[in-house]
Amino acid sequence: MCHRDHVLILSRTCRGFCRRRENPPRRPSENRGIPAMTAANSHVPACPITHPLDLGPDGVNRPGLYPHALYHELREAENGVHRVVRSNGSPAFLVTRYDDVLTVLRDQATFSRKEALEEDDIDLDGTILGLDDAEHAAVRGVVADHFTPRAVRRLGPRIEAAASAQLAHLLEAGEPADLMESYALPYALNVISDLFGLPAQDRSRFRAWGEAFLATSALSRSEAADAQLAMVGYLATLIERRRSRPGDDLLSTIAARGAALPPDQLLKLPLALLVGGWETTASSIGTFTQVLLSHPYDDHETAYAYLAEHPESVEPALVELQRMFTTAAADALPRRATRDTVLPSGARLRAGDLVIPSHVTANYDPRVFPDPHRMTFTRAPNRHLSFGHGAHHCIGRHLSHTEISAAMSVLLRELPTLRLAVPAEDLQRKTGQIIAGPVSVPVAWT
């Protein structure tokens, strides 16, 4: 493992650069409150770059609300593809420019997820996130028609009703309230659990397993393995019940259509969809609310106030927030190059190279997104990569977007005076998890 204290001894120039990494600038910006980023350098640092960029000397990843300033320096330096050292000591190439990242994400024949499984921070072997080509298509095909735009539109009224019901619980409890624990997390968990037919009495236990499974710090890996075993065992029991007593839920569909899948892939399909289905959605709701309540927009004190007065702007605003504030704690999952190749930037990669596509950085590429650090609700087109691209694009992206849209629309309509109950700089972010987001978001409304 490459520790930053080792990096600091390399050279005087390297010392200054690495200290900038440890303490990235967070100075105010004149650009709608979004922090200014360090100007791009034209050179690559001589010192090893540890990935994730927010990794601490204790091996714990601590991503902030904004992408690390070094991302933007690397994207503009040379061809935008740079050698990094992963937390486990493995060398890799970080790909940062939009066209290059797009190529890596969509060309699974050249950039294999399955061949990079041993480099994952959590165990994704056998899941939809760790397969390629025919295997991936077979597993994805079991549930794909449940996540199409048309299928999700049919769920719209149920999803908005769930958001309204959860907000009623929050209001009944009174203020101040934690938006994460009282709204975002239970709402997102209930929506995906209802879709799968997960019994209400088991949901809190499944949430605890899911949080342990998503941990990336070394001290939590044994707990993550135990959590995965517990979830797989639990889901195996439910799937067997659905085979004999099917319902109209997604777990019954998996039990029926997935009978030909290897047992490992069958059981891990609902695991990946369930865990990813509430954590990413809830984290997005919390993060977006934090951003909207702490940044000005147009002539309004906060972007939240602007959207409360302009509900027609909610949808494009959410797309812009998805571009700027991804829930990924450390870029997209790594790929392994299966053959020599040249990226659009001209960067050459060899067969066997480990490649990390950084959609975080690509989403700020000025070649694609003019004035990328400006939060602009009218940005069009806005083809961000936060949901991935190609065969491995997020299967639940339409569902997640609909859930987030319903949650934010209900908040804006029912609580137009919502505000943070603590200073924005006091909000804590999750650490040592594969999904980034706030730990809590205390709010008040009177």
Tens of pLDDT along 408-431? Answer: 999 999 999 999 999 999 999 999
Per-position DSSP letters for 23-49, written without gaps between them? S------TTTTPPP-PPPPSS--SSPP
Asked if the model's pLDDT at residue 36 lies above 80, the reply is no
Per-position DSSP letters for 116-163, written without gaps between them? GGGG-SS--TTSGGG--HHHHHHHHHHHGGGSSHHHHHHHHHHHHHHH
3-state secondary structure of 413: helix
Residues 6+ apart with CB under 8 A from 385: 98, 101, 102, 105, 332, 359, 362, 363
Name the β-bridge partners of 435. Answer: 328
Contact status, residue 445 vs residue 339, Cβ threshold 8 Å = no
Domain hosting residue 158, numbered range: 4-444
3-state secondary structure of 439: coil
Chain-centre distance of CA 360, in angstroms?
10
Residue 122 binned pLDDT confidence (cut-offs 50, 70, 90): confident
| Number of residues assigned to the chain | 446
CA 398 to CA 405: how far, in whole Å? 10
CA 269 to CA 140: how far, in whole Å? 8
Q: Characterize the bridge pairing of strands 348-349 and 341-342.
A: antiparallel
Instruction: Tell the burial category of 257 from Cβ atoms under 10 Å away from its Cβ (0-12, 13-18, 19+).
Output: middle
Whole-number pLDDT of residue 277:
83
Contact status, residue 51 vs residue 356, Cβ threshold 8 Å = yes
Across the range 268-289, mean pLDDT stands at: 92
Whole-number pLDDT of residue 44:
57
According to DSSP, residue 100 is labeled: H
Contact status, residue 95 vs residue 358, Cβ threshold 8 Å = yes
CA 315 to CA 248: how far, in whole Å? 30
3-state secondary structure of 443: strand
Q: How many CB atoms neighbour CB 240 within 10 A?
A: 11
The proportion of the chain whose per-residue pLDDT surpasses 90, expressed as a percent, equals 76
Domain harbouring 22, CATH code: 1.10.630.10
Across the range 112-135, mean pLDDT stands at: 92
Q: How many CB atoms neighbour CB 421 within 10 A?
A: 16
Count of structural domains, the chain: 1
Q: Report angle CA 400, 401, 403 to the nearest 5 degrees.
A: 65
Across the range 224-236, mean pLDDT stands at: 87
Q: Give per-residue pLDDT as tens, 366-400.
A: 999 999 999 999 999 999 999 999 999 999 999 99
Q: In this predicted model, which residue has the larger pLDDT, 376 or 124? A: 376
Q: Give per-residue pLDDT as tens, 174-200.
A: 999 999 999 999 999 999 999 999 999
Contact status, residue 368 vs residue 90, Cβ threshold 8 Å = no
Whole-number pLDDT of residue 220:
62
Whole-number pLDDT of residue 45:
58
Contact status, residue 290 vs residue 420, Cβ threshold 8 Å = yes
3-state secondary structure of 55: strand
* 284-295 residues labelled b (16+ CB within 10 A) or e (exposed): bbbbbbbbbbbb
Per-position DSSP letters for 161-215, written without gaps between them? HHHHHHHHHHHHH-SSEEHIIIIIHHHHHHHHHHHHT--GGGHHHHHHHHHHHTB
Asked if the model's pLDDT at residue 136 lies above 50, the reply is yes
Contact status, residue 210 vs residue 192, Cβ threshold 8 Å = no
Q: Give per-residue pLDDT as tens, 315-374.
A: 999 999 999 999 998 899 999 999 999 999 999 999 999 999 999 999 999 999 999 999
Whole-number pLDDT of residue 217:
58
Q: Give per-residue pLDDT as tens, 45-98.
A: 556 899 999 999 888 899 999 999 999 999 999 999 999 999 889 999 999 999
CA 167 to CA 279: how far, in whole Å? 18
Residue 130 binned pLDDT confidence (cut-offs 50, 70, 90): very high
CA 109 to CA 338: how far, in whole Å? 7
Across the range 31-43, mean pLDDT stands at: 41
Q: Give per-residue pLDDT as tens, 157-170.
A: 999 999 999 999 99
